[in-house]
Chain A
């Protein structure tokens, strides 16, 4: 018996003119092969029915702990992982039904900034070659100088000296490598960028530099970001709206301040109370909600609301009916039977 997540009522905010990315019912299930014939014996339900939308020019933060499926969601939206089911629309065009070749044509509109500044750059490529790659895939250049000029310009935009265009990735520091990754993502002037934990691997003092850079670039080029991260403080700072994920589903979606001031979903409440604040007076006075147990495995998510085994408000209905992501207050969505 499969519980279907009912389609949420279309809220007024999600109109075609302002919405750039529209995701409904997104599912990504990875089969686990087993047995003699290699048949799928179970599925890892990494993304299990995600709805969200991103307006032009805004930053939507996607936050959650490990195993919640946020990175997979980002990749599924970009069609780097083909979704098992669901719909992803970019600027009105449905992406999930496109062939691989057609998707590749659209790649210049949707790019990604990767998490690991060391693994996301080919160690055998100079940074000029790294940035040239997307350019050469989609544009023709009359001569080498034209290409080089464009690369130099991109390097300057992200704050790197174009003189070092022929250097290799390993000669730069973590923060600089991340800037190279950002330059690569910007090269094709995409409208939509998924930033997958772009600052998590950087030192604290460098994180602020890169975050400021991302914000400046957004303003200058009118970019739309999906900012995926596990650090809620960082996400809240850079995002206009935030979606909280738990075990493959979005449990709450709201404006950043609203999420912080009035979290409706119990998981969000627990998450917020767990985050340490650099202020000893506040820390002393805090009442922490300590969740029991560990995150269940995405192979066997609990029935009904997948948070109910750890929720202090859980009732009968929570075990039986999957709560839909509904608008509880203006612009503030939560998937809970007993929000607030």
Chain B
């Protein structure tokens, strides 16, 4: 296996609230190779966003990264100080967020916001050069009439365009890794298709690795090479994309795939919902976090927490005592 660009080992991020300790991310490990797209799939509360924020070291009180290593390019991000981190963010690792409406500063032009990022990370660049790069980036993300539109303010763009601007900002310094946290969830489906195409194209062109976080199994199927599935702060399954959909091993993955309506479903097919309620992060059961809802639960599942074990051939792994 090629060496990983990003390697997360045993990451634990807890939130210490007055109601108790929320184990948002509880012993998560995975890796991303250079140039590849990893999908992180899960529902709200599963810890996927917190994982991304932990990698960027953007966790604030009452949250804290209590354990784990995050190796980027061989160096441990946990060891870096604030200055090194701000150097890293934006230039080597970039992040785009879900809501394009609030991610951009409304009082500066988009060209300015892109140029600002460039100037922050390349001290030797002049203002004109930075501005030219900004226009270049806007062109790259296919904003028509980029030169003129660089002088527009965020409110003059539609939602889809604003997300393109976000992508432009994040790619301006040619990062090695782009973390995209639900980048298309707030967008219409036709716009989503545009944005995902764009991201795929740019990733291929510049060799940027992408960590795509989403709850949409369809998006993952179309954009990612490898996928990890998270539930209640744990990684429950990890596999190359085809294997995940063709031979899902963990009961949660199976349950999810069975419960979502598909366009190509036959009429009259009843959905198979996952029983039960979303997990309680304040008082998790001692064993497997999925035990309360698992149709295949056994005694052992309540008592011990399963580790990720290989299933089938290849790199597929599931955290289950009785995988498919």
Contact = CB atoms under 8 A, between A and B. Distances in A.
Direct contact of A and B (CB under 8 A): yes
B5 interface: no
A236 B266 CA distance: 10
A294 B161 CA distance: 8
Contacts of B277: 173, 175-176, 206
A203 B260 CA distance: 11
Contacts of B278: 173, 203, 205-206
Interface stretch (B20-28, B93-101, B192-200, B303-311): B192-200
B274 A205 contact: yes
Nearest to B272: A208
A209 B272 CA distance: 8
A209 B217 contact: no
B273 A276 contact: no
A150 interface: no
A33 interface: no
A66 B273 CA distance: 27
Contact of A276 (B43, B215, B216, B269): B216
Contacts of B255: 205
A215 B274 CA distance: 17
B262 A278 contact: yes
Contacts of A217: none
Contacts of A66: 188
Contacts of B265: 233, 236-237
A314 interface: no
B241 interface: yes
A115 interface: no
A256 B267 CA distance: 8
Interface in B198-235: 215-222
B242 A278 contact: no
Contacts of A270: 190
A274 B192 contact: yes
A276 B161 contact: no
A280 B274 contact: no
Contacts of B271: 208, 211-212, 237
B215 A274 contact: no
Contacts of B246: 281
A288 B197 contact: yes
Interface string A242-283: 000000000000001100100000000011111111111111
A321 interface: no
A98 interface: no
B260 A278 contact: yes
- Give chain B's interface residue range (CB within 8 Å of chain A): 35 or more
B198 to A, nearest CB: 10
Nearest to B184: A276
Interface residues of A, number: 46
Given A175-B277, A275-B263, A283-B222, A205 B43 contact: yes
Contact of B43 (A203, A232, A281): A203
Contacts of B272: 208
A295 interface: yes
B2 interface: no
B189 A208 contact: no
B315 to A, nearest CB: 15
Interface in A194-209: 203-209
B188 A277 contact: no
Interface in A32-87: 65-66
Contacts of A237: 261, 265, 269, 271
A208 B260 contact: yes
A209 B293 CA distance: 13
Given A271-B190, A275-B218, A204 B260 contact: yes
A7 interface: no
Contacts of B219: 276
23 contacts: A65-B191, A203-B43, A203-B44, A203-B215, A204-B43, A205-B274, A208-B271, A211-B261, A211-B271, A211-B273, A212-B270, A233-B261, A237-B261, A237-B269, A257-B267, A270-B190, A274-B192, A276-B218, A276-B221, A278-B260, A279-B245, A281-B246, A283-B221
Given A205-B255, A209-B274, A211-B273, 17 more contacts: A66-B188, A204-B259, A205-B43, A205-B259, A209-B273, A232-B263, A233-B262, A233-B265, A274-B193, A276-B219, A280-B241, A280-B245, A281-B246, A291-B190, A291-B194, A294-B158, A294-B161
